[in-house]
Amino acid sequence: MACHLRSISLPTRPNSLVLKVEEELQKLRACMASSSSTAQMVFDGLNGLGDVYEYIKELLSLPSNQNGVSHSNQKKWVEEEMEESIRLLDICGAMRDNLSSMKINVQDLQVALRRGGEAAMGSKVQAFARLAKKANKDIKKQTTKCGSSSPLHEDCDSLKVVRLLVEAREITMSFFQSVLSFLAKQMIKPKTSKWSLVSRTFNKRKVACGEEKEDDDCSIFSSYSCKDLEDEKALRAQMQLQTLEASIEGLENGLECLFRQMIQCRVSLLNICSS
């Protein structure tokens, strides 16, 4: 997925920029609240985050905002958000590393699937789930360390910008968690059983085809069951794994763009603090 660029020109009035940021943040909240997320929704959400930081960067570059934080009681909010921005960049970097590890895991799983190594496949699926779970847990831990309070009195545009920065940071971390949950669901569809879905599938191979009828849900290995259709099911699973790998690559590229946009926002904050 190429770096997302808007074709429309940015609004020049501060209030228009603020409204644009709030609109994008609301879209992100709706995306994360959806119980039926798709890969396209996730990509759109990542692009929306990029828009948020682009708009905030424009707000930070406005002379009125740059001059507004010269007051000591206002500048402290910017300085605090400067500290939090480092943590957010670290989280974004860790997210990229996690996606890279998950992509390698999916590639290994494709090899195991071609070779018919059931034990290796089960191990790789479980490793993918553990990786997604650990990454999600790490982000939640980092989230609790981050500040969450925003300025209470927004009597000037500069404080509005800081409030938007705080909201953007909090939504960014929540969105990362949503991405990891989405990826985990592509590999294993949650069931009431404690067995992993792939393990359940392999066990079904020992059962007659007439006893193996189950719905064809969205998880990768959900339909890989009946012996007579094993080759066809394996091919379908291989294609789904390739789609998952492509999705992860797209997210990696999107995160790289987002990382650069957040760096640019931080540079704008640095310029304000040093002015």
Query: DSSP for 197-216?
Result: HHHHHHHHTTS-GGG-----
- pLDDT greater than 80 at residue 6: no
pLDDT reported for residue 131: 87
- pLDDT greater than 70 at residue 158: no
> In the block, which residue shows the tokens 């066809």?
232
pLDDT reported for residue 200: 44
Mean pLDDT rounded to a whole number for the chain: 76
Which residues neighbour 12 within 8 Å (Cβ) at sequence distance 6 or greater?
Answer: none
Question: 254 vs 136, which has greater pLDDT?
Answer: 254
pLDDT reported for residue 233: 74
pLDDT reported for residue 220: 59
Which residues neighbour 214 within 8 Å (Cβ) at sequence distance 6 or greater?
Answer: 222, 223, 225
The number of beta carbons lying within 10 Å of the beta carbon of residue 33 is 9
Let me know: does 160 contact 19? Beta carbons within 8 Å: no
Q: What is the residue type of 234?
A: A
- Region for residue 149 given its phi and psi (left: phi exceeds 0; alpha: psi -120 to 50; beta: otherwise): beta
pLDDT reported for residue 31: 87
- pLDDT single digits (tens) 7-59: 444 445 668 899 999 999 999 998 888 877 888 899 999 999 999 999 999 98
pLDDT more than 70, % of the chain: 69
- pLDDT single digits (tens) 78-111: 778 888 889 899 999 999 999 999 999 999 888 8
pLDDT reported for residue 223: 47
The number of beta carbons lying within 10 Å of the beta carbon of residue 195 is 11
Which residues neighbour 42 within 8 Å (Cβ) at sequence distance 6 or greater?
Answer: 31, 178, 179, 182, 247, 251
